[in-house]
């Protein structure tokens, strides 16, 4: 073997080694496919080349990249020029393997095809190639077609090189056996690398599908919570993008890579996964007396009993009074007043049962006063109108959850943390538990479950805290409240900032970059989107 041959092989080995390194480090699939084709062309001094990918249904080969140096042609890949060539079917109309097209033959048989002169071969259908030559005044001659097979020997693509050139004279020559062996080695390494990347992507897609599966389970229990699990990650990413792009303030240096974004997105999807363990009647508690059903109807029945008893008592009093019209009038007046009072008390309890943002001490006292009204139950025993549990629930100061139920709801975040920390997270997702588990913490350290201060939390966890609050304020599908308008929600969120509950710098970006409006336009009812005067938002300086 001559010195020039040794040099040529050494150069090819170096090119193959460089490509092998790149195959293991480059995760940009389009760029990687382009690099594979260009390396194959360079190793064989080919004038042109095409890389086909096997279609997902395994029924055809799709043109992925096509390059021809003489014609200055570059289609597909990262060129921006779409390939307008039909796919090559791998199966004929009768259901048999397509062996007439050389690329399909290589894919179907798993063997390489090395042709010295395509115009001298009749085994394959080269009508498309002949038409190409006529159209572009080109002369195709030597062809090397090599299948790309994965570790299971399934063809994932085909490399096809056209017109090998003699480096010394520039004339078209046949592809040598050495060319073929190098390209087969290259195709094998490339196929394995591409398959690994596809498997990684499939696993990531599968994982994200499992994450969404958890949210589907939560959604089945509570559609309202399910939508919350969908909207919070969206809002979190909007705020993350705004923080990434900010050019002033303490977060000027904050940046997120695509991997960072992926991690935050997964954390957002999982931030309330612990709610899958929360009882439905607590999550869906629309009124204060609701458990498996709304017990206000039981209270209504007791009032009907009280009214019935009052009417019976008045009739008995009339019988005892005989034909005394004046006494009858007094009895009727007293009955009307008693029935009116009972109706008023019942309406008050109905209203109290709905829940509000702040029940006054006077209203709470009135509930306890009404509770002491005596009535006779079905068993014939006299008792208070309301049980101790009913009084406890009807006097809830804010919302519809009592202390025990609030503890159950709050426990979802502890369950979320335990669930997430039990998983063997890969390196690029190791912060998911911290991001997802911190959205109920507060800057002043009085949040839950761990009582972390702002400086003990990541920026991402603090973002999710803002997103969680704002989504809850604006959501109109909660069974226990109406959705706030945009201006009302920002006013309340500003109050959280003034009380040192949320990150002031992120709150500033949230308002200044109009993240709230971006979210509103995508997810809020148009009726809730009112005009916002940013100068009136508490804690924000325009």
Q: Over the stretch 429-479, which tens digit does the pLDDT of each residue have?
A: 999 999 999 999 999 999 999 999 999 999 999 999 999 999 999 988 776
pLDDT of residue 285: 84
The neighbour count for residue 19, using CB atoms within 10 Å, is: 23
Of 12-16, 111-115, 310-314, minimum mean pLDDT range: 12-16
Q: For residues 284 and 222, is the Cβ–Cβ distance under 8 A? A: yes
Does the pLDDT of residue 418 top 80, yes or no? Answer: yes
Q: Which has the closest alpha carbon to 240: 73, 500, 435?
A: 435
Can you read off the two tokens belonging to residue 499?
Answer: 């009380």
According to DSSP, residue 87 is labeled: P
**pLDDT tens digits, 250-263:** 999 999 999 999 99
**pLDDT tens digits, 39-76:** 889 888 999 999 999 988 889 999 888 899 999 988 88
Does the pLDDT of residue 86 top 90, yes or no? Answer: no
Q: For residues 486 and 530, is the Cβ–Cβ distance under 8 A? A: yes
Per DSSP (E only), the strands in 331-477 are 374-376, 382-384
What 3-state class would DSSP assign to 172?
strand
**pLDDT tens digits, 174-231:** 999 988 998 898 888 888 878 887 888 888 888 888 888 887 887 777 765 658 888 9
Give the mean pLDDT of 504-530: 95
What's the pTM value of the predicted model, to 2 decimals?
A: 0.72
Does the pLDDT of residue 21 top 90, yes or no? Answer: no
2 Cα distance to chain centroid: 61
**pLDDT tens digits, 179-193:** 899 889 888 888 887
Q: How confident is the model at residue 161 (pLDDT cuts 50, 70, 90)?
A: very high
């Amino acid at each position: 073997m001559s010195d020039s041959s040794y040099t040529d092989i050494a150069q090819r080995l170096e090119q193959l080694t460089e490509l092998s390194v790149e195959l293991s480090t480059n995760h940009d699939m389009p760029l990687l496919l382009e690099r594979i084709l260009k390396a194959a062309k360079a190793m064989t001094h080919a004038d042109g080349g095409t890389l086909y990918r096997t279609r997902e249904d395994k029924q055809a080969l799709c043109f992925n990249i096509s390059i021809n140096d003489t014609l200055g042609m570059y289609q597909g890949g990262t060129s921006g020029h779409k390939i307008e060539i039909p796919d090559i079917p791998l199966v004929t109309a009768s259901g048999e393997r397509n062996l007439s097209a050389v690329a399909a033959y290589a894919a179907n048989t798993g063997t390489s095809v090395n042709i010295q002169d395509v115009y001298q071969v009749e085994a394959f259908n080269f009508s498309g190639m002949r038409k190409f030559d006529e159209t572009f005044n080109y002369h195709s001659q030597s062809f090397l077609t090599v299948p790309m097979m994965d570790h299971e020997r399934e063809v994932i693509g085909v490399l096809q090189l056209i017109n090998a050139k003699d480096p010394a004279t520039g004339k078209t020559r046949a592809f040598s056996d050495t060319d073929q062996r190098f390209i087969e080695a290259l195709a094998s390494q490339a196929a394995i690398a591409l398959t690994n990347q596809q498997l990684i992507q499939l696993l990531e897609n599968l994982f994200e599908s499992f994450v969404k599966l958890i949210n589907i389970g939560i959604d089945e229990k509570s559609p309202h919570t399910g939508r919350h699990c969908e909207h919070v990650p969206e809002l979190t990413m909007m705020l993350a993008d705004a923080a990434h792009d900010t050019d002033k303030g303490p977060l000027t240096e904050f940046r997120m890579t695509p991997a960072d974004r992926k991690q935050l997105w997964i954390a957002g999807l999982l931030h309330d996964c612990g709610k899958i363990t929360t009882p439905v009647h607590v999550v869906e508690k629309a009124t204060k007396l609701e458990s498996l059903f709304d017990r206000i109807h039981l209270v209504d029945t007791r009032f009907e009993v009280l009214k019935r008893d009052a009417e019976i008592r008045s009739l008995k009093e009339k019988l005892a009074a005989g034909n005394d019209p004046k006494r009858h009038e007094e009895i009727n007046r007293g009955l009307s007043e008693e029935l009116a009072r009972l109706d008023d008390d019942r309406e008050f309890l109905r209203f109290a049962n709905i829940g509000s943002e702040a029940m006054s001490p006077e209203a709470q006292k009135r509930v306890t006063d009404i509770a002491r009204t005596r009535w006779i139950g079905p068993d014939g025993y006299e008792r208070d109108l309301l049980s101790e549990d009913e009084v406890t629930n009807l006097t809830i100061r804010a919302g519809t959850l009592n202390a025990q139920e609030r503890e159950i709801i709050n426990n979802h975040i502890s369950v979320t943390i335990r669930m997430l920390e039990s998983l063997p997270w890969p390196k690029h997702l190791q912060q998911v538990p911290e991001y997802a588990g911190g959205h109920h913490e507060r800057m002043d350290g009085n949040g839950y479950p761990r009582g972390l201060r702002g400086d003990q939390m990541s920026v991402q966890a603090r973002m999710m805290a803002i997103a969680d609050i704002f989504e809850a304020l604006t959501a109109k599908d909660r069974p226990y409240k109406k959705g706030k308008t945009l201006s009302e929600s920002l006013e309340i969120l500003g109050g959280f900032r003034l009380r040192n509950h949320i990150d002031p710098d992120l709150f500033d970006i949230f308002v200044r970059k109009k993240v709230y409006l971006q979210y509103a336009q995508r997810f809020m009812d148009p009726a809730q989107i009112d005009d916002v005067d940013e100068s009136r938002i508490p804690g924000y300086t325009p």
